[in-house]
Amino acid sequence: MSVRSVRATLATLAMSAAAVFGLAQPASAAGDNYVALGDSYSSGVGAGSYTSESGTCKRSTKAYPSLWATANSPSSFRFVACSGATTASVASGQLSALSSSTTLVSVTAGGNDVGFADVMQTCVLQSEATCVSRVNTAVSQMQNSLPGKLDSLYAGIRSRSPQARVVVLGYPRFYKLSGNCIAGLTETERGAINNASDVLNGVLAKRAANAGFTFSSVVDEFTGHEICSGDAWLHSVDWLNISNSYHPKAIGQSGGYLPAFRSAV
């Protein structure tokens, strides 16, 4: 057998194996109609490179939805996530991007419903006791009022796109405890905020599972890259651009959210 025929045979076998074992392309690739919903953690606040058309929604070309779409070239891509979005505003202002032909959906929502931005502001500007009290109020909202709001949003997504794979992404754990920060919040405050993030992720995971959606945590991806870690993928308080505070940097989108989303689809 000639070298050329050997190569041809090997190529044929490789193509056959790819067809049999599904190796030709990932499950989510060129054939997908992808819609990215959600709040600032999906729009990419903190990552920079915002598109001019997105205005105050601050949709970034460095956010995980754009990065995934660039890498996978889906048949269609609608990026409608918006800074400040709540479950209600996602439902009222973003679900129109969905249709019966939508095959892939990503969403982050819930943090603004429990006032996480206000929690952070309270903890930065006020006393430890006031901070912890505000965190506890947010945790109570997560446990009591948020589940129903998530159920309503998820039902709306499923109603509009009954065949879509839906990936609900969580939020990072913000602080490395006993880290290298020498100023700012106390360890008690940082621990309370981390606990609240864990509670929120737990609620998101449970409601996503109940809806038949996939929950993808980003906690592992951000471990070692929290605020106070020395290699933070999250902005700490940014007094020059306050909206960046507690949001992923560009590396947090590409190294944290993108792998978490990719592994779920």
**What are the catalytic residues?**
40, 247
- The Cβ-side half-sphere exposure at 45, using a 13 Å CA radius, reads 22
Task: Quote the CA–CA distance of 182 and 65 in Å, as a whole number.
Answer: 35
Q: Phi and psi (nearest 5°) for 60?
A: -105, 140
Q: Is 246 left (phi over 0), alpha (psi -120 to 50) or beta?
A: left
β-strand partners of 79: 36
Task: Quote the CA–CA distance of 66 and 72 in Å, as a whole number.
Answer: 10
The DSSP 8-state label assigned to residue 227 in this structure reads B
For residues 101 and 32, the answer to whether their CB atoms sit within 8 Å is no
